[in-house]
Amino acid sequence: MTRLHLVRHGPTHAKTMVGWSDLPADLSDTVALQRLHDHLPSDAVVISSDLSRAADTASAIQGTRTRLPHHPDLREINFGTWELRGFREIEAEDPDLAFAYWDNPGDVRPPDGESWNEVRARVDAVIDRLMADHTGHDLVVVVHFGVILTQVQRALDVTAQEAFSHKIDNLSVTELTHHGDRWSVGRINHLA
């Protein structure tokens, strides 16, 4: 059994599509960070995406927990040419593609970006390796909205569209447990 505590990084305050751009997190809410630190298991292993908003959030809540190197395959969705652009601008440019991407996530991808299925495969591979290497431990994985939803989809065995119905706030924790042959889902989007 391996328990995953999927933490969404601190807010960037961006109002655009932020995927692989390395925007910093606002970590000024030290009270919320302390509550999050205290909520997480003290003997957990911590890992994060290599993007600074996740890595810096992981550092802020790490405490004395063991830290693994940042992992680039835990990055957010690669939005390609949609990166750092607003939803309205993207929809105005190609409404059919924008609608297809959000309404039926799967193989549709933004120009020069990656599809939901590609993100899911990338993240699943890292999580599988982490669970194999740390069976029986708690893992605190500090990542991004899309990354967390890939694992919610996996654990609940739902469609990507159903996974997207879940809200994932900054500095929230989503708790999933892998029992070897099945998943159980604890709290999704818990704010400590």
CATH number for the domain including 21?
Answer: 3.40.50.1240
In tens, the pLDDT along 80-125 reads 999 999 999 999 999 999 999 988 889 999 999 999 999 999 999 9
Residues of the chain with confidence (pLDDT) below 50: none
pLDDT given at position 143 = 98
> Is there a domain that residue 102 lies in?
no
Total structural domains in the chain?
A: 1
pLDDT given at position 103 = 86
pLDDT given at position 42 = 96
pLDDT given at position 58 = 98
Structural domain span for residue 141: 2-79+115-185
- Here the tokens at position 172 are 């929230």
> Is there a domain that residue 170 lies in?
yes
> Is there a domain that residue 84 lies in?
no
Burial class (CB in 10 A: 0-12, 13-18, 19+), 95: exposed
> Is there a domain that residue 94 lies in?
no
pLDDT given at position 104 = 84
> Is there a domain that residue 161 lies in?
yes
pTM (2 decimals)? 0.96
> Is there a domain that residue 95 lies in?
no
> Is there a domain that residue 30 lies in?
yes
pLDDT given at position 55 = 98
> Is there a domain that residue 128 lies in?
yes
pLDDT given at position 168 = 98
pLDDT given at position 10 = 98
